[in-house]
Amino acid sequence: MSTDTPGSQSSLHRANLERVLRAVRMAGSLTQAEIARGTGLSAATVSNIVRELKESGTVVVADTSSGGRRARSVSLSGDAGIVVGVDFGHTHLRVAVGNLAHRVLAEESEPLDVDVSAQQGFDRAERMVERLLGQAGFPADKVIGVGLGVPGPIDVETGALGSSAILPGWTGVMPGQELAGRLSMPVHVDNDANLGALGELVWGAGRGLGDLAYIKVASGVGSGLVINNQIYRGPGGTAGEIGHITLDEAGPVCRCGNRGCLETFVGSRYLLNLLNANHPGELSLSKVVRLAQQGDLGCRRVIADAGRQIGMGVATLCNLLNPRRVILGGDLAEAGDLVLSPIRDSVARYAIPSAARQLSVVPGTLGGRAEVLGALALVMSEMGETGGL
């Protein structure tokens, strides 16, 4: 804990140091010129801070080239600390162990039955974290923090999983407290859409961008909003609920209690219902995508219509936030242009031209790993604020 007077030389230095560290932590590696641009600090200040961080062993500096000119790239030292990501999905549990230099050292995923109790789920997560730390060769005391993803909203005040969570039997569970107690490590919790956004921002299709929206279409429909390099959560933690934009006030009743929400047209349950009659047997969203790619006309139509409706939500988002890029995640993203083209058409039709002009709509590049990598990034993003490295 710093006892510096705010505004004093040393507290200013401390704040500048933290800005440089945060920029490098989130980018993985940056040249000194990029750090100066990203933080607004002068080249001389950045140079001094980098020298200091190098002498303390916090960062490593390597010669590289940038635009044909010699440059020095700065990244965090690999042994500066270990971060752990745990992602509870609708059908899987995935854990990753990484270092602050953005290397994933160990990663594993196993199926998770949606009916599993919270206690069984945490038992398995605890064992998997211990096993992967062993595999990576690091003791538990090297872990700076754990990022935990859950497929539902977290109540900001209480830390409890909200009632509309996708995992039945987990309502009212305090996932962060539960895992922190078991592992004796600090745990940061967030929902899957926010973590998908962070994952793509730091490791995937959003690298180098400070403003983007990640839209996850699965059982539910949610979005993670990155504004100025930070996830925007809102005071109650519910920002980004794009799935509950009203498209038709006389439409089907939604799990939120309203009618005609976007989710009631494009959530996987609704899409699968449309196809049940003509496709007997077990259908899943990824199977629908596969059939569409093989030319099944019904599946192609359902995916195209979903794209148009998602595009209406994206157009609204675009008018409000003007993101540079919208990244589509979840199983539907695997459909590629079958879903992306209708999304782009709707954006062109419904968004104001000045907001749509600079927007690109792309699929995520991390697939099912987006959330667990986002959980690693969550720890990196939060650690400076608690006085850590």
* Residues of this chain that bind Zn ion (CB under 5 A): 244, 254, 256, 258, 261
The Cα 380–Cα 246 span in angstroms is 35
Classify residue 5 by its DSSP letter. P
Tokens of 161: 């999983």
Residue 307 burial (CB count, 10 A): 26
Query: Minimal distance in Å, beta carbon 254 to Zn ion?
Result: 3
- Of 261 and 370, nearer to Zn ion (C-beta) is 261
Reduced 3-state DSSP string for 184-241: CCCEEEEEHHHHHHHHHHHHCCCCCCCCEEEEEECCCEEEEEEECCEECCCCCCCCCC
The Cα 93–Cα 175 span in angstroms is 14
Query: Minimal distance in Å, beta carbon 349 to Zn ion?
Result: 23
Query: Minimal distance in Å, beta carbon 193 to Zn ion?
Result: 15
Query: Minimal distance in Å, beta carbon 259 to Zn ion?
Result: 8
- Of 255 and 324, nearer to Zn ion (C-beta) is 255
- Of 221 and 321, nearer to Zn ion (C-beta) is 221
Tokens of 10: 């040393």
Tokens of 62: 């390597």
Residue 59 burial (CB count, 10 A): 24
- Of 187 and 221, nearer to Zn ion (C-beta) is 221
- Of 244 and 344, nearer to Zn ion (C-beta) is 244
The Cα 370–Cα 362 span in angstroms is 14
Query: Distance of CA 56 to CAs 51, 64, 145, 172, 389, Å?
Result: 9, 22, 21, 44, 12
Query: Minimal distance in Å, beta carbon 249 to Zn ion?
Result: 12
Query: Minimal distance in Å, beta carbon 246 to Zn ion?
Result: 8
Query: Minimal distance in Å, beta carbon 261 to Zn ion?
Result: 3
- Of 225 and 254, nearer to Zn ion (C-beta) is 254
- Which residue's structure tokens are 């790619």? 293
Query: Minimal distance in Å, beta carbon 364 to Zn ion?
Result: 23
The Cα 113–Cα 110 span in angstroms is 10
The Cα 341–Cα 310 span in angstroms is 11
- Of 136 and 310, nearer to Zn ion (C-beta) is 310
Please enumerate in sequence order all residues whose Cβ is within 8 A of that of 135, keeping only pairs 6 or more positions apart, or say none.
97, 105, 106
- Of 49 and 254, nearer to Zn ion (C-beta) is 254
- Which residue's structure tokens are 């590629």? 336
